[in-house]
């Protein structure tokens, strides 16, 4: 299996540190808001990487953090007049709901930065002892960037070029030795959460948390470290500087980065107002569609989100689900334990599509080509699996098909749950039926919704609904 390594800028054969095991760390979101569909891209992609390794028989230890201490969280807490933990706990819970909707498996461990402060203080102390960090008089601790000779090796940046980029920026605090130095620990400001430390009451910088959590839950040397491409510099570069200065050996063997998700051809950002949360999308689509849409492109290609592409993803996914339905129905009714001669040949063809799918995934997780192979399989199964097929053929073909769907995280058992938009459309139809004095239809809709656990309440402001 080949993986593109940002460090070497080429595809490399994957060789695990320990046979049969994969240790991977993926930088998780900062929890001050509902996650947006950009955040969903690394979640969905790296979950698929994990699933593919599992499919290949690896035992995967998958760690992904929640950054629950950060300026943006503190700001949101101040605006609401609540403790920062109220904000972070709320959005961790919401993020987990979105992950479930997208069928992203919970990580083996989801560490929280605020629960790992002791480890961060230990690592900062070690960096100071080794001469890689220094504290200044207000208690800020900086990493001495130039001391780490290999700084810039991941982002392929040269220290002197970086230095010139800083020319215009005034060094904050007279005592900072070099503009390139970054913060490991900073003093608290009024009203901010803080922890005791040998340097001052304060809180950690962002980069140190991942070095510490990765080491604690996966060990000093890991197989894969992942995240969105915006994290290459400075976040991952700084993680390398911290971790390798302490351990003296490579931090991660493979660095994987997903490209960005844009929206209607533009960068998605709050200032442009084209920001979409996963929750927004869930009101109109099953989040399975969002997942399928994300995987329809190669992870290193920028991906554009648009209504048209989501509709196309919905239709494509539907073809897969229809095939799954048919296989399920026929598996229940078919008989015959032995493959016919033709079926033996057909099964070879099915396995050929499976090989094609695996070849695509082995080539740097090319989910786009893997999906194309899956569609070839669907087309073939649609013609070769019939009422006349033996249980042996239906069973074997179906098992292969379901395994490949599962790697992509496609849930083939249809959910009965209604989407918000479906519910609202039915309510509208009921309102119209009542206007038309078609009481039978109105009652029928109410009963139909109730059966799915949706309770309607007629109020003066209109019809309200809730999930029972």
Residues that bind ligand AMP (CB under 6 A): 27, 29-30, 38-39, 41-42, 227-228, 230-231, 258, 260-261, 268
- E-strand ranges in 248-360 read 252-258, 261-263, 266-267, 303-305
In the complex, the smallest distance separating the C-beta of residue 270 from ligand AMP, rounded to whole angstroms, is: 11
Q: Any contact of residue 27 with Zn ion (CB under 5 A)?
A: yes
- Backbone φ and ψ for 462, nearest 5 degrees, come out as 120, -170
Structure tokens at 213: 């959590």
Residue 261: contacted member of Zn ion, ligand AMP, none (CB under 5 to 8 Å, by partner type) = ligand AMP
DSSP letter string, 241-260: HHHHHHHSS-SEEEEEEEPP
Residue pair 42/62 in contact (Cβ under 8 Å)? The answer is no
- The span from the CA of 392 to the CA of 413, in Å, is 21
Query: Which residue of this chain has its Cβ atom nearest to ligand AMP in the complex?
Result: 228
Instruction: Indicate the residue among 244 and 346 with the shorter CB distance to Zn ion.
Output: 244
Task: For Zn ion, give the closer residue by CB, 55 or 233.
Answer: 233
99 or 360, CB closer to Zn ion? 99
CB of 326 to Zn ion, least distance (A): 44
Nearest distance from residue 209's CB to Zn ion, in Å? 7
Q: First-to-last CA distance in the chain? A: 47
Q: What is d(CA 335, CA 291) in angstroms, rounded to the nearest whole number? A: 35
Kindly identify the residues of this chain, within the stretch 209-228, that bind Zn ion according to CB under 5 A.
210
> What are φ and ψ of residue 266, in 5° steps?
-120, 160
Instruction: Give CA–CA dist 340/193, Å, rounded.
Output: 70
Distance CA 103, CA 130 (A): 44
The listed partner (Zn ion, ligand AMP, none) that binds 268, CB under 5 to 8 Å by sort, is ligand AMP
What mask of x and - would describe binding to Zn ion in positions 318 to 357, judged by CB under 5 A? ----------------------------------------
Length of the chain: 468
* Residue 30 binding result from Zn ion, ligand AMP, none, given CB thresholds of 5 to 8 Å by partner type: ligand AMP
d(CA 31, CA 8) in angstroms, rounded, equals 32
Residues 6+ apart with CB under 8 A from 270: none
268 vs 331, beta carbon nearer ligand AMP: 268
39 makes contact, choosing from Zn ion, ligand AMP, none, with CB < 5 to 8 Å by partner type, with: ligand AMP
Rounded to the nearest 10°, the torsion over CA 355, 359, 361, 365 is -170
Q: How far is the CB of 251 from ligand AMP (least distance, A)?
A: 17
Q: Which does 210 bind (CB under 5 to 8 A by kind): Zn ion, ligand AMP, none?
A: Zn ion
For residues 111 and 152, which CB has a smaller minimum distance to Zn ion in the complex? 111
Min separation Cβ 211 and Zn ion, Å: 8
Q: How far is the CB of 230 from ligand AMP (least distance, A)?
A: 5
Question: CB of residue 58 vs ligand AMP: minimum separation in angstroms?
Answer: 22
* Phi and psi, residue 436, nearest 5°: -80, 5
Closest CB to ligand AMP among 180 and 261? 261
User: CB–CB of 120/157 below 8 Å?
Assistant: no
Least separation in angstroms between CB 138 and Zn ion: 26
Q: At what angle do helices 391-407 and 367-384 cross, to 10 degrees?
A: 160
Q: Choose between 182 and 292: whose C-beta lies nearer to Zn ion.
A: 182
Q: How far is the CB of 161 from Zn ion (least distance, A)?
A: 24
Q: Which long-range contacts (C-beta less than 8 Å, at least 24 apart) are formed by 189-192?
A: 191/78, 192/74, 192/84
Q: Is 57 helix (H, G, I), strand (E, B) or coil?
A: coil
Cβ proximity to Zn ion: between 67 and 389 the closer is 67
Query: Which is nearer to ligand AMP, 42 or 246 (by Cβ)?
Result: 42
Helix, strand, coil percentages, rounded to 5, for the chain: 50, 15, 35
Binding site for Zn ion (CB under 5 A): 27, 210
């Amino acid at each position: 299996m080949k993986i593109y390594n940002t460090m070497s800028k080429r595809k490399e054969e994957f060789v695990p540190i320990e046979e049969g095991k994969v240790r991977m760390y993926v930088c998780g979101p900062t929890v001050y808001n509902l996650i947006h569909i950009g955040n969903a891209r690394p979640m969905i992609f790296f979950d698929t990487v994990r699933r593919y390794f599992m499919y290949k028989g690896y035992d995967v230890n998958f760690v992904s953090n929640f950054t629950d201490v950060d300026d943006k969280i503190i700001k949101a807490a101040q605006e609401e007049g609540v403790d920062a933990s109220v904000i972070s706990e709320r959005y961790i819970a919401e993020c987990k709901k979105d992950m479930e909707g997208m069928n992203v498996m919970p990580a083996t461990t989801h560490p929280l930065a605020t629960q790992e402060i002791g480890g961060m203080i230990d690592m900062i102390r070690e960096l100071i002892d080794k001469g890689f960090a220094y504290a200044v008089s207000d208690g800020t601790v900086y990493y001495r960037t130039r001391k780490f000779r290999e700084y810039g090796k991941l982002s392929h940046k040269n220290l002197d070029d970086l230095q010139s980029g800083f020319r215009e920026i005034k060094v904050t605090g007279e005592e900072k030795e070099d503009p390139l130095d970054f913060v490991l620990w900073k003093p608290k400001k009024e009203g901010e959460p803080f922890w005791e430390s040998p340097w001052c009451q304060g809180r950690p910088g962002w980069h140190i948390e991942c070095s510490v959590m990765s080491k604690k839950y996966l060990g000093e040397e890991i197989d894969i470290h992942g995240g969105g491409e915006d994290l290459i510099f400075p976040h991952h570069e700084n993680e390398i500087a911290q971790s390798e200065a302490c351990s003296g050996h490579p931090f991660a063997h493979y660095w994987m980065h997903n490209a960005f998700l844009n929206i209607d051809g533009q960068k998605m950002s709050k200032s442009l107002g084209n920001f979409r949360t996963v929750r927004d999308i869930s009101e109109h689509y099953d989040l399975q569609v969002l997942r399928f849409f994300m995987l329809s492109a190669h992870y290193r290609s920028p991906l554009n989100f648009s209504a048209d592409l989501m509709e196309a993803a919905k239709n494509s996914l539907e073809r897969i689900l229809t095939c799954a339905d048919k296989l399920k129905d026929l598996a229940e009714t078919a008989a015959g334990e032995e493959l016919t001669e033709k079926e033996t040949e057909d099964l070879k063809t099915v396995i050929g599509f499976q090989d094609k799918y695996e070849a695509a995934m082995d080539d740097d997780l090319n989910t786009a080509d893997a999906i194309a192979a899956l569609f070839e399989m669907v087309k073939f199964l649609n013609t070769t699996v019939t009422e006349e097929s033996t249980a042996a053929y239906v069973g074997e073909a179906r098992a292969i098909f379901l395994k490949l769907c599962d790697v992509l995280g496609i849930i083939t058992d249809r959910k009965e749950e209604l989407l918000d938009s479906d519910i609202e459309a039915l309510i509208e139809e009921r309102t119209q039926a009542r206007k038309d004095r078609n009481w039978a239809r109105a009652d029928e809709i109410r009963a139909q919704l109730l059966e799915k656990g949706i309770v309607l309440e007629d109020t003066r402001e209109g019809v309200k609904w809730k999930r029972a």
